[in-house]
Structure 1
Amino acid sequence: MNQPRPIFGTTIFDGSQARKGYALNRMCFSFNDAANRAAFKADEEGYMRSYALNEQQSAAVRGRDVLGLLAAGGNVYYLAKFAGILGLDVQDLGAQQTGMSKEEFKARLVRQNDQPAATAG
């Protein structure tokens, strides 16, 4: 069986990462409920403890470190809920993942969008 080729700067979300990030993703899923979002904002440390986040996960939450959250087992779909609490959008997350400013990232998306699609030969 072929192993996927690593992509620089990318954490592959597989079964191992899912197990590693279960508590973090469970916490982020809880943010679907407005009362839980408010509880997190009122006491982030207590809220993280109530979901038994490990130190790597807690440090990434404290640091608002998206790449750290992914490395700690976070799934981007659940992390989007956390990002929403912080007032971040998908472009903010993409900028963090690529090491660009949000403006640079948006410009890159526009450039990529302006390129003609490849045609079949």
Structure 2
Amino acid sequence: MTQAQPPIPGTTVFDGEQAQKGYALNKMCYAFNSAEQRAAFKADEAGFMRAWGLNEEQTRAISERDVLGLLAAGGNVYYLAKFAGILGLDVQDLGAAQTGLNKEAFKARLVAQNQQPDTLAA
């Protein structure tokens, strides 16, 4: 029997419910692997999102480039990275947005955390 993990303040856990909620969004973002699909999105964002069946929350978050909103709308960071690539962003940019830091501060935080002793191994 597994024990439920306590929530992490300020995060959205990507679980089965979020996966179902974000299915259309993540499927659309996966399509960005194709240069043709990226070009179609850039040519008509609203039409592209309608064609993929995004709901109002997802459409708003894409339109506003709201990373936290995309996560709350069921977005998976690995698929959202494909969308971020269209904007010239990378996964560290997404992490910075999630934590409210700029990219350099986020990178410094990652380095500092990697220098901490592993408390989970004890």
User: TM-score, with normalisation over the residues of structure 2?
Assistant: 0.90
Structure 2: where are the runs of 5+ without partners? none
Paired with 1:92 and 1:49, the residues of 2 have a C-alpha distance of 26
Aligned runs of 1:4-19 on 2, under 5 Å? 4-19=5-20
Moved more, 35-44 or 104-113: 104-113
1:23 is paired with a residue whose SS is helix
Paired with 1:111 and 1:88, the residues of 2 have a C-alpha distance of 23
Q: Deviations over 1:60-111 (max 9, x none)?
A: 0011111100100011111110011110011111100100011211221222
Structure 1: where are the runs of 5+ without partners? none
2:81 paired with 1:80: yes
Identity over the aligned pairs, expressed in percent?
A: 72
1:112 to partner: Cα distance: 2.5
Paired with 1:43 and 1:55, the residues of 2 have a C-alpha distance of 17
Count residues with an aligned counterpart.
Answer: 121
Paired with 1:41 and 1:68, the residues of 2 have a C-alpha distance of 20
User: TM-score, with normalisation over the residues of structure 1?
Assistant: 0.91
Which residue of the partner structure matches residue 94 of structure 1? 95
2:81 paired with 1:70: no
2:78 is paired with a residue whose SS is helix
* Amino acid paired to 1:81: K
Runs of 4+, deviation exceeding 4 Å: none
Which residue of the partner structure matches residue 53 of structure 1? 54
* Amino acid paired to 1:41: K
* Amino acid paired to 2:88: G
